[in-house]
Chains A and B, each alone.
Chain A
Amino acid sequence: MTPATLTRGLRDLPLLLLCVGVGVLVLAGVILLVGANPLLVAQALGEGAFGSPYKLANTLVQTVPLLLTGLSVAVAFRCQLFNIGAEGQLLVGAIAATWVGTLPLPPAIHLPLLLIAGAMAGAVWAGIAAILKIGRGVQEVLSTLLLNFVAIQMVSWMVRGPLQEADRAFPQSDPVAVPARFTLLIPNTPLHSGVILALLVAVLLWFYLRWTVGGFALRSVGAGAEAAEAAGIPLARTLVLTFLLSGAFAGLAGAVQVSGVLYRLSEGFSPGYGYTAIAVALIANLSPIAVIPSALFFGALTVGGTAVQQRIPGVSSVVVQVLQAVILLALLGYYWAKEQRQKQEGATTP
C-alpha cells in the first residue's frame, strides 16, 4: 500500500463508518419493533461468540466453512462469474468426502484423499454450470442456484440410499474412519486442524491471483472480458478454470465439515454457508486475505446469533441474516457515495 492510497483509504473511513452506522441504527429499530432491547441483543451476540475460550473455538470452527466458501465466491466474482452455487458445491463436496471417508483406505492417505474427493466433487458441480454457460449461454446465476436445490435433494437421497448407515436406522451415513478426521488443535474444544488448511488456502489464492499468469488472466477477464480476449487471454479456458477453482474451494469446505466437525453426513448440516459466503466475499471486497477477518466476523455472528435466540425471548437467530443484509446495503451505499465523490473530483481537477 502506497502512502497515497493509505491517505485516501483513511479519508474514506468516516464515510464508511457513517454508512455502517446508519445500517446499524436501522437494525436497532427493527429489533425494537419486535419488542427487544438492541443493546442486550448486541451484548448476547458478543458474549456468545467470544465470551470464553470454548466459545471462541466454536466461532473459529464456524469461520472455517465460511472462509472456504467465501474464497469460492470471491474468486468467481473476481472473474465476473456470479457463482451463487457455493452452497450446492459444498453439499456435493460433503457427499464425496463422506463416501471416501467411509471406504476402507490406507490410514496414511485417508484424510488427503477425503479432502481431494470433496474438492473434486465441488469442482464437477460447478463445472456443470461452466459447461452450460460456455456451451449454451445459460446465465450462471440461474444454473448455480438451481444446482443448489438439486444438491440438497441429493444429500437427502444419499443418506436414505447409497450412503445410509449400515443398520439403516436413521437418515445419516456411517461415521468416517478415524484416520480420515482432522485432529483437534486444542483438546476439549471443537477446534480442529482444518482451520490451518483454510488459512493456507486463503494465502495460496492470494498468491495465485497476485503473482501468477493464471491469476492475471482471471483478473483481466473480470475487468473486461472483451478487452482481455482482444489482448490474447483465452476467455473460455479462464472461465472454466475459475468455475472449477471456485467449486473446488466450496467442495473442500464441505469435506472439511465432514472430516473436522460432523464425522458423518446428515441432512441440513449447512445453515446456508454458501449463501452467507456471498456477504463474506463482498464485505472483503473480494480480496482473499480480507476474506479471513470477514469470515471470522460472520462466524462470530452465526455463533452469537444462536446465543441471542437462547437468551433474548422473541428474537430469533435470523436476526443475523438481517444484520448481513443491512451491512451489505450500507456497503453498497458507501461504494455509491465514494463513486460520486470521485466523479466530482474528476470534474473539478483538469
Chain B
Amino acid sequence: MNDFLSQATVVWLSFLLQSLAYATPVLFAALGELLSERVGVINIGLEGLLLVGALTAVLVASATGVPLLGVLAALVAGVGGAALFGLFGVVLRRDQVIVGTTLNFLALGLTGMLYRAATSGGTSAVTAPSLPPIFGQGSLSVGGLTLLALILIPLSHWLLFRTRLGVTLRATGEVPEAAAASGSNVIGLRFFVCLATGALCGLGGAALSIGILNTFTEGMTAGRGFIALAIVVFGRWTPYGALFAALLFAAADVGQSRLQAANLVPLGADGRPLLSYPVFLAAPYILTLLALAIRGAKVRAPAALGKPFDQG
C-alpha cells in the first residue's frame, strides 16, 4: 500500500488516523455527556464510567478471548453504572455534581479493587486480545469503535435536531415544566438518556483499553472524562462541534508525543529541553481552559442544566 503513497502523505495520514484513534474514547464520552446535558443532566461521573467500561472490556475479552464480547460487556457495565447515577441524580433528585463525584470515587475504587483481585495483588498483568482494525493495518488503520463513533455523530445530530423526539429531548433540558405539561415524562426521559450516556461511556472505555491498548491500569482514563466535559462546552453542545473539539485535542496530544519522540523539542542554553515533558502534558488542559475562556461568553448551556426536576 505504501508504494502508492508518498512518504509525506503516509506521515500525515498516520498522524490523522492516530489522532482519530486517540479521540475515540473521549468522543464517546463527550457524545454521552452532550445528550445528557441536552436533557438537563450534568454528569461529571464520565471519568468513572469510562474506567468501568475499560476494566470490564479487558476482563471479559481476556476471559473469553473475544474482543467483541468485551465491548458488549463494557456497554452493559456502563449502563449499570449510569443507572446508579440516574437513580440518585434524576429519580431521587440529589445534586448531580455530588452524585457524579461520588460515582467517580466508587468507580476508581471498585475498578482498582477488582483489578487487583483479578491480578492477585497486581503481581500479574491481565492482557486481553485487542480489537482488530476494520480496515488498514499498523499505523494506517481505522478501528471498529472509531468508525462507530464517527457514524454516531451525524446520527445524534439528526436525532437531536431533525426528529420530534429530539425536540422533546431538548425541551426537557431547556424548560422541563413545559415538556411535562405537554405530556412528556421528564424523569423517565432523563433517566433513559442517562443510561444511553452510560452505554456510550462503556464503549469509550472499551475503545481505550482494548481499542488502543490491550490492558488495564488503575486510573488509566487519566482525566479523559473531564476533557470530554470540556469538549461538550467547546463544541457548543452540538455533535459536530464535539467531533471537531475532540479531534483538535487528540491532534495536540499526538502531535506533542511525536515531537518529543522525534527530538524536535528546542534546547535551552544549558542543554536542557526548553519545554519539558510536564509542560507538554499540561498543554491539553491549558488549551481547554483557554478555549473555555475565549468561547465562554458566546456559549449558553441548556437552561435547566443541573436542576433537579420534580414531576410531583
Contacts and interface: CB of A to CB of B under 8 A. Distances in A.
Interface of A: 30, 33-35, 82, 84, 128, 132, 135-139, 141-143, 145-147, 149-150, 153-154, 156-157, 160-161, 275, 278-279, 282, 313-316, 318-326, 328-329, 332-333, 335-336
B44 A141 contact: yes
Contact of B99 (A35, A147, A332): A332
A157 B278 CA distance: 5
- Which of A137, A138, A146 has its CB near the most chain B CB atoms (within 10 A)? A146
B113 A136 contact: no
A30 B92 CA distance: 24
Contact of A325 (B102, B120, B278, B296): B102
Contact of A35 (B108, B117, B279): B117
Contact of A319 (B92, B103, B113, B297): B113
Interface stretch (B130-138, B199-207, B282-290): B282-290
Contacts of B99: 332
Contacts, number: 144
A321 B105 contact: yes
Interface residues of B, number: 48
A314 B116 CA distance: 7
A142 B292 contact: yes
B107 to A, nearest CB: 8
B217 interface: no
10 contacts: A34-B116, A132-B289, A138-B293, A142-B226, A147-B289, A149-B226, A150-B285, A325-B106, A329-B106, A332-B94
B105 A142 contact: no
A329 B99 CA distance: 8
B93 A157 contact: no
Contact of A328 (B44, B102, B110, B286): B102
Contacts of A132: 289, 292-293, 296
B289 A34 contact: no
A30 B103 CA distance: 16
A144 to B, nearest CB: 10
Interface in B277-312: 277-279, 281-282, 285-286, 288-289, 292-293, 296-297, 299, 301
